[in-house]
Amino acid sequence: MQQARTAETRGSPPGIAHPTSRAVLSALGDADFDDRNAPKLYRFVVGVDQQARPLEAHELAELGDPMAELFFRKDAFPLTVQDLLAGLPEPATKANQSVYLIGEAGQIPLGSAPEPPRAMRFAVARAATGRDVDLLVSTGANEDPAATFLQVAAWDPVAKVFNYYMRLSPVWVWAGNSWSALAPGSRGHGCFDSHINGSVVMKELKAPWSNWQSQAATIRLAPDSPFRDDPLYQQVVGAENLELTVRALIGRWTAARLAAVAQDGIVEHPEQLMRHLFTTTAVNLASTTTQSSTITPSSGDLLLPPGFWLNGDALLSDLELPVTAALPPMAPAAHYVESLTTFDFALEEKSSGFSQPGDTFFAFVVPEPACEDNDVVRQMVEQGLITDKFAACAFMVDFTDPVFSSVRAQLMAHVPTTPTAVTELQDHTVQAILEAATSLPPSSPEGRFAAAWALADDVWPKTFAQRIDDYLGRVGRRIRESAGFDDYVRLAESRRRDFKAMRLNEFELTLPTTNIPVDAARLRMNDDGTVAPAS
């Protein structure tokens, strides 16, 4: 398993079509699955392993995370999250353990008919020893603790990876590590359909942390709900704290990954790094901080999510372009309220028959660039794998479409796919793009990049900032027109459809439905603030 990072060069067995718990159960077969007297840790990496098998002693010895050291190597296999937390060597304190609560139906009014299932999950961030979080535990909150799912991402400080475990009562399964997420056989399968880059995931990362209990909203419980007596529920704190933990854990894995990738001076798979710059490998979900039910035509202006307009985290925060325009543009509340009727916004869950007119609890949920993508780019710049100018030129090819850009993705064709010296990674990519640009129109992705790259080093930051200022000014004017706002609603729905095609889309109540056809043309944003069909 220590060789997982290079396994991709050796090829993998055919993948398994449906990486679900049922697939794992099937793979376990009859291998002592019901033998509670002799429990074992099994290995099953979806897409790589055709059959689950017990880990050999030397394989178990290679796992250096707290789950392996404190439980599995001692033949301890906790059945519930309570057993797991009780089995850690230090008692839980506010300093070493935080409990969080999420539920997509958590803010829907009680007594709705039909009542949607209020399945909630706990996320527990725990430091096994010391104060640095090395266990992130996810489990069902208001279900039988012994029967609900129990999953753990555990940091291995020696191998510098997250190991991913799942308990399928009563069996524990090692489902792979961070490198497995990047290997062709297992990438996109099993737990790596959501942990697509090997790191921990919190989709609703920023304020107001939609669907999480936080300082912005409380998950609703009946006054007599027995769940209120759950000791873990009584420890729940706001998701604003989890955001900080997740960002730190993402950064920890990114730093370890880049150090390992560049340690020999050669990047074996340049495309695995560059896709974070040129494509959308993952997204976060952002929204306004305003509850949709409180918005009326006279509410004033509405702040839509900044990440809807451009990748401000990368361009403004990380690359520090000197943009002066106000961000985000302000939308008249009256246009938003009108759009709810125009586009028949509703929350629907077909499995339960629940339907409620209107938007999500916090208004205007949309996908935005993922923290994990931006973190790789930021650390590549900081470590000198690429320059800030190179990153900025790539983003500016179509900065108005920060996610799911088919235009920017075309530049992946010019990224080396063979081992490349760290010092030559950027130069090889730039040279390939510039050569292609000579035979392509200026409007092509290559032409746009070449024009940006030609700017002098003391000119490009101000030039890019001026482009952004001009764009935001145009958007700010168009959004105040009813037709312009409706175009942005259509653009938001286009991006939601792209998100719904991802494995990250797990729950029907995460996003609203509209009357916009599911087969409507994909849309893109132009520099002048208009919306057009994507090419």
Write down the domain spans for the chain: 19-242, 264-533
Whole-angstrom Cα distance, residue 358 to residue 203?
Answer: 22
Q: Cβ contacts of residue 413 below 8 Å, gap of 6+?
A: 436
Task: Fill in the amino acid letter for 1.
Answer: M
Q: What angle do CA 137, 239, 329 make, to 5 degrees?
A: 135
Q: Is the peptide bond before 39 cis (omega within 30 degrees of 0)?
A: no
pLDDT at 114: 84
Whole-angstrom Cα distance, residue 385 to residue 16?
Answer: 35
* Ranges of the chain with pLDDT below 70: 1-38
The helix (run of H) or strand (run of E) holding residue 195 is: none
pLDDT at 25: 60
Whole-angstrom Cα distance, residue 315 to residue 396?
Answer: 9
The helix (run of H) or strand (run of E) holding residue 115 is: none
pLDDT at 52: 93
Query: Which tokens is 267 given?
Result: 């990047």
CA distances to 22, 95, 162, 366 from 242, rounded to whole Å, are 30, 13, 17, 20
CA distances to 80, 177, 181, 230, 407 from 44, rounded to whole Å, are 21, 11, 14, 33, 37
Query: Which tokens is 193 given?
Result: 């359909």
The helix (run of H) or strand (run of E) holding residue 307 is: none
Provide the pairing of β-strand 171-177 with 41-43.
Answer: parallel
Whole-angstrom Cα distance, residue 363 to residue 210?
Answer: 10
Q: Is the peptide bond before 226 cis (omega within 30 degrees of 0)?
A: no
| Phi, psi (degrees; rounded to nearest 5) at 451 | -65, -40
- Which pTM does this prediction carry? 0.93
